[in-house]
Amino acid sequence: MVKYSIIIPMFLCFSTLYAGFTFVGKIKNYNVFPNKVEFTLTNANLIIYVVDQNILRFRYTNQGEFSNAPSYAVIFQQPEKVNFLFNEESDKFVIKTTELIVQIKKDPCRISIFDNKMNLLNKDDEYYGVSFDNDEVRCFKKLFDGEKFYGLGEKSDQLLKNGNQYTMWNSDFPAYNSKRDPLYVSIPFFIGIRNYRAYGIFFDNTYKSYFNMGASNKEFYWFGADKGEMDYYFIYGPQIKRVITSYTMLTGKIELPPLWSLGYQQSRWSYYPETTVRRIAQSFRDYEIPCDAIYLDIDYMDGYRVFTWDKEKFPNPTKMINDLKAKGFKLITIIDPGVKADTEYFAAKEGVENDLFVKYPNGKFYEGQVWPSWSYFPDFTYDKTINWWGDKLSILLKDGIEGFWNDMNEPAVWGQAFPDIVQFSDNGFGADHKKIHNVYALQMAKATREGVRKYSPNKRHFILTRAGFSGIQRYSAVWTGDSESNEEHLKLACIMPQNLGLSGVPFIGTDVGGFIGEPTARLYVRWMQLGSFTPFFRAHSEFNSRAKEPFAFDPNTRSLVRDIIRFRYQLLPYLYNEFYNASVTGLPIMKPMFLNYQNDENCYSYDSQLQFMLGDNLLIAPVLSSTDNFKKLYLPGGKWYSFNENKTYDGSNWIIVNAPIEQIPIFIRQGGFVPMQDVQNFVGEKKIDELQVLLFPSPKSEYQLYQDDGISYDYTSGKYSITKFSEELSNNKLKIHITTEHDGYNTGLKNYLFKILAVSAPKAVYVNNERISDNKKNDYKTNNQFNFDKEKSILNIKTNYSKKLEIQIEF
């Protein structure tokens, strides 16, 4: 009797525990199509799409039918026919592509994915697989020993995601810390790495979703959402880079931004009135600190009404903007989604009359409190609203505004609780806020991008957003929200952009110096050093804080920051080339070390995430403390040239280098080319007719440099230039070849100045087989001459620009 009294309650407890969960069950029947296989399961339907030879899509529903609503994130069109093999065996079905083998167990239905050599890459948890709990969907995956996870968008912890659970729900949280989740940008995509082979999973579900990467258990990891389908893409590498490229094939890649947007940008909450804006601009020019853009925060508007100007603060915005343009400044205005619920206000009136705002289920327009007080919110899931919003932006574009800064677009309201029952068009399918919340900012960015393209079809404008979802990279740059002026956020300013880059967002940066609080001079310098190597380089600060412009600090700090920003402008050819590469490949510009050195275990360590590769040729190791004057860093295999020390290091080593406050450790990879140019106070200030090319020679390497006008979309019709640089070092001879691979744009170059690093004095130098002389003056004024800097071991060679050039050096 005692035994039964114990066993029966335990059994009842077990049954109750799993009563809410329904698993997919066994496979009952199937149909094969040219690009997919459809399965009917006991408790669900499953479609497996073959998207590409390395990409599969798994789509489950327990609702009887799959939704016809289009994806907000995926823009890739499923091919009508894909080559694959399908076989049925006694206990499973098998799908084969040239790269993947998928086994679908029949009872219960479970997925196992192998490479074409039958190495197991990923599999459903044996016991749970895909489950439903009323509306909730989950997918449980086997967690393997040594498996590492990365990605998931804007997360404020370290790059490695193992052992934690994350939520995708765009949230405004000022002064967040390393334990705060979720934040502004939700990207339900992660990369798994085991035995140095990589795969990716993109969960295409916009509802609040969760990713448990082995938190509190060692058996499985899982991902799921409060509602919607279990719809995920499996992407095989095995290279991490290929996973990201394939993911951005699905969700889109960045467009080339205007070249000026790679320059330094200055912001504050808020610059007003007009005299203040003019004073800030003039101060940059007076102190000869390069700057290309100034931002106007919410106080430029009339009562925080979007698309308006406060005429007392800015009586003649068109003239002000034109005057600033004459000094090389572009003006960027903040745009919030909240439209003041004022019936006398044209935007509110038009939105109500044309039914463009979101509503309650009873048909009443929703009003939420934000900066203008009670406000309407545009329904950006409705094409008519997207077109209208773009047309309203033309009001500011006509005044000369060059870019828009989308803020408060999580969407944020006072109280942080946008009602879930609020209704959206959802492209005509109808949905509530629970489905649309995470894509609201994505759709607002889409409306902004379409608006500026409609107004200026052949001119690139700049768009910046605080919130986003998968695919945000195709419309906008992103910054990491309201950071604090402290060392924790300085470290996060190094890590978070890397994480977003892994998640498909290359154009990324932080509020340099911290938005909230006041940095010490040393913290400010260290943040500026880091910021100058992030793709998006903007300083920003909160209301009522002390001034944080570079010229607002003491003369020594001002001088240091001036040099930092100037070096950024010298590096623009290299940076712009990396943006071009990102537009083609989807890869980050600011790269975690393991992205380039996937098989080097040291590159996965915590310390190695406190440095990064800028492109493929520069290693940047920022000092992330206001008190340190040294940096511990890791150099991967090969040789590396220290930019600051003018010396070389052997790779596969951890080293400690001196880094006084005026220096950020920079290393050039052996074989790396780095194109540079003269300093400008703003992009386009003067004609660039000389390209400086740094080279740390290796046995053999090559590099391609992309150039266009940096302003228009003419490059899409072939009006661009690609120059190939190659070098080969053997038998004490270095040969450098320069050839024009694509000649659709006149670069305007007249000269090359090559700086050959870490070499001995040459015996002879030839340009196009003609021996050139040694310029003892070291003034570089005469072409086809060279000079050797014995102290730095740098050989300088100045040549005429040519579409085909050969340099030979004998040592």
Residue 587 has pLDDT above 50, yes or no: yes
pLDDT-derived band at 15 (thresholds 50, 70, 90) equals: very low
Active site residue 292: no
Q: What is the pLDDT of residue 14?
A: 35
pLDDT-derived band at 1 (thresholds 50, 70, 90) equals: very low
Residue 795 has pLDDT above 90, yes or no: yes
463-502 confidence digits (pLDDT tens): 999 999 999 999 999 999 999 999 999 999 999 999 999 9
Check if 590-615+627-665 and 687-810 are the same fold.
yes
Report the candidate in 52, 223, 49 with the shortest Cα–Cα distance to residue 125. 223
Q: What is the pLDDT of residue 3?
A: 34
130-155 confidence digits (pLDDT tens): 999 999 999 999 999 999 999 999 99
Report the candidate in 45, 202, 219 with the shortest Cα–Cα distance to residue 211. 202
User: Which of 4-18, 519-533, 547-561, 673-687 has the lowest average pLDDT?
Assistant: 4-18
Pairing of strands 647-650, 639-642: antiparallel
- Average pLDDT in the 674-695 region? 97
Domain borders along the chain are 24-251, 590-615+627-665, 687-810
- Average pLDDT in the 654-661 region? 98
pLDDT-derived band at 295 (thresholds 50, 70, 90) equals: very high
d(CA 540, CA 671): 37
What Rg do the C-alpha atoms of the chain give, in angstroms?
Answer: 28
Residue 206 has pLDDT above 60, yes or no: yes
Query: Which stretches within 532-571 are classed as H helix?
Result: 555-570
Task: Measure Cα distances from 20 to 23, 206, 219, 441 in Å.
Answer: 10, 23, 21, 34
Q: What is the pLDDT of residue 775?
A: 84
483 strand-pairing partners = none
- Average pLDDT in the 636-657 region? 97
Residue 306 has pLDDT above 90, yes or no: yes
> Domain 24-251: which CATH class?
mainly beta
CATH number of 590-615+627-665: 2.60.40.1180
Task: Measure Cα distances from 46 to 3, 54, 129, 558, 747 in Å.
Answer: 43, 19, 13, 62, 54
Residue 604 has pLDDT above 80, yes or no: yes
Q: Where are the beta strands (DSSP E) in 249-356?
A: 265-266, 293-296, 330-335, 339-340
Q: Which of 407, 484, 600, 708 is catalytic?
A: 407
708-737 confidence digits (pLDDT tens): 999 999 999 999 999 999 999 999 999 999
pLDDT-derived band at 782 (thresholds 50, 70, 90) equals: confident
Residue 16 has pLDDT above 50, yes or no: no
Residue 560 has pLDDT above 70, yes or no: yes
User: Which of 340-354, 454-468, 771-785 has the lowest average pLDDT?
Assistant: 771-785
Burial class (CB in 10 A: 0-12, 13-18, 19+), 93: buried
The residue length of the chain stands at: 811
Active site residue 407: yes
SS3 state of residue 734: strand
DSSP assignment string, 351-415 = HHHTT-B-B-TTSPBP-EEETTEEEE-B-TTSHHHHHHHHHHHHHHHHHT--EEEE-STTT--TT
Q: What is the pLDDT of residue 21?
A: 83
- Average pLDDT in the 425-446 region? 98
- Average pLDDT in the 174-188 region? 96
How large a percentage of the chain has pLDDT more than 70?
A: 97
Q: What is the mean pLDDT of the chain?
A: 96
**pTM value?**
0.96
Residue 126 has pLDDT above 60, yes or no: yes
Backbone dihedral angles phi then psi of residue 199, each to the nearest 5 degrees: -140, 165
Other beta carbons less than 10 A from residue 179's beta carbon:
8
d(CA 615, CA 251): 22
Q: What is the pLDDT of residue 780?
A: 67
Domain 687-810 indexed as CATH 2.60.40.650: no
Residue 746 has pLDDT above 70, yes or no: yes
How large a percentage of the chain has pLDDT more than 90?
A: 95
- Average pLDDT in the 288-308 region? 98
Q: Which of 52, 181, 482, 616 is catalytic?
A: 482
Q: Which of 410, 511, 600, 616 is catalytic?
A: 410
Residue 597 near residue 651 (C-beta atoms within 8 A): no
